[in-house]
Amino acid sequence: MLKIHNSLTKQKDIFTPIEEGKVSLYVCGMTVYDLCHVGHARVMVVFDVVVRYLRSVGYDVTYIRNITDIDDKIIARANENGETIQALTERFIDEMYQDADALGTLRPDQEPKATESMPEIITLIETLIEKGFAYASDNGDVYYDVSQFDEYGKLSGRVIEELRAGERVEVNEQKDDPLDFVLWKAAKSGEPAWDSPWGQGRPGWHIECSAMSATCLGEHFDIHGGGQDLQFPHHENEIAQSEGAHGCQSVNYWMHNGFVRIDDAKMSKSLGNFFTVREVLKQYAPEVLRYFILTSHYRSPLNYAEDQLEQAKATLTRFYTALRDVAAAEVRWQDDKDYGARFREAMDDDFNTPLALAILAEVRQALNKADPQEASYLAGLLVCLGAELGLLQQTADAFLLGDDDDSEILTLIEQRNTARAEKDWAAADVARDSLTAMGIVIEDGADGTSWRRI
């Protein structure tokens, strides 16, 4: 029985889909004006695992992740760079795919873009005005009237009066109330703009997700995900918009993943303390980053540190070492009564990937001890369990050896083995020292010498 921690109820709820056997999932994606950083990687990997797991236990999942391709930052960056908004966003959408693909994340079923959803966005704003949840101001802005939505604050646990007391909301003369938020922004000169009943303008940030989720998944769907920082105000506002306009509950389960931190501070663009996925992948295999992300539960903070990546790398090396030279059998983990059952228990408990990885480690150890027939089964089990986490899907050689030229390595190994055959240990060690200097580790086994890169 799958349980999901629901930000709306603040507890683990038993997951019951709206329509039996089907799951509709919407995840807030990237604003495309720069490269993805490790925080973005976490969202991608976490929800990738959610999708993989839900599918593996039989759900027909529709996975939507939007792309925000128009907003203040995009406009500012395009101006800075002296390029068009379209050129900028297309470039970074392409970069995003490079990172997402490297990390082995499955493509969402649909990736709606804000700029391609204008009719839906405008219709939604019109509905909100008709129903009295929104008002147009003199300058062509349209605002959501927070006081009209009784349940405002239900997701983030906020109370309107307290927000007002906070006094940190900037005063804007166009708004009736400082807490009201913008649905449609009137265009300033030179800004990209779309026609609307309120004049030329562009959508506010929150409205696009309400429009696109309803378009792709309907007015009421199962799971909405995103980073914890989106819980307020973005998701709170999304609820106000969707539920105000549609008059029904919009989302059953809200999932929020924790932050990536550096030195105990949130990794963020505004603090400037971020690593891009691209930078990390220069030094580590994508699978290492993915493994690192999954070593922590998705709701916990994840402290980014190089030695943690080294640990992840060492662990993966052991997994692939165990898989090396074993012909993996075709196995369905769902049929395995021991490890498979415990894996399911772990994942059913709000996607507990650290516990799931502990079970994979047990399989690995059993595999190392097993006789050939059992080994083949356990290797198959390991690979198919790994698949649900997006791990262990390469060949052992691809991970351990890489695909750089290895002729020199093979020559040295041959030299060393010739020396060993003659019991010329000094010469053998010279060859090995050369290999060590090249970052190569040698392993003499019963049937020959194998090697791997450090």
Q: Contacts with RNA in 13-42 (CB under 7 A)?
A: 28-31, 39-40, 42
CB of 296 to RNA, least distance (A): 4
Sequence-ordered list of residues with C-beta below 8 angstroms from that of 448, at least 6 positions apart, any chain = none
Among 22, 91, 246, 266, binds RNA (CB under 7 A): 266
Burial class (CB in 10 A: 0-12, 13-18, 19+), 100: buried
- Scan residues 408-447 and list those touching RNA (CB under 7 A): 416, 420, 425, 428-429, 432, 441-445
User: Taking CB under 7 A as the rule, does residue 200 contact RNA?
Assistant: no
- Scan residues 81-140 and list those touching RNA (CB under 7 A): none
Which part of the chain contacts RNA (CB under 7 A), choosing from 50-58, 123-131, 190-198, 259-267? 259-267
The CA distance from 41 to 336, in Å, is: 31
- Scan residues 334-363 and list those touching RNA (CB under 7 A): 349, 352, 354-355, 357-358, 361-362
Which part of the chain contacts RNA (CB under 7 A), choosing from 118-126, 191-199, 257-265, 390-398? 257-265
Q: Closest CB to RNA among 32 and 129?
A: 32
Task: Write the interaction track for RNA spanning residues 220-239; mark x where CB under 7 A is met and - where it is not.
Answer: ------xxxxxxxxx-----
CB of 265 to RNA, least distance (A): 4
Which residue has tokens 């649900």?
388
The CA distance from 235 to 224, in Å, is: 9
- Scan residues 176-195 and list those touching RNA (CB under 7 A): 181
CB of 198 to RNA, least distance (A): 20
Tokens of 348: 């059913």
Q: Give how many residues touch RNA by CB under 7 A.
A: 85
CB of 377 to RNA, least distance (A): 16
Between helix 286-294 and helix 353-369 the angle, nearest 10°, is: 120
Sequence-ordered list of residues with C-beta below 8 angstroms from that of 446, at least 6 positions apart, any chain = none
Which part of the chain contacts RNA (CB under 7 A), choosing from 77-85, 91-99, 297-305, 374-382? 297-305
The CA distance from 132 to 370, in Å, is: 69
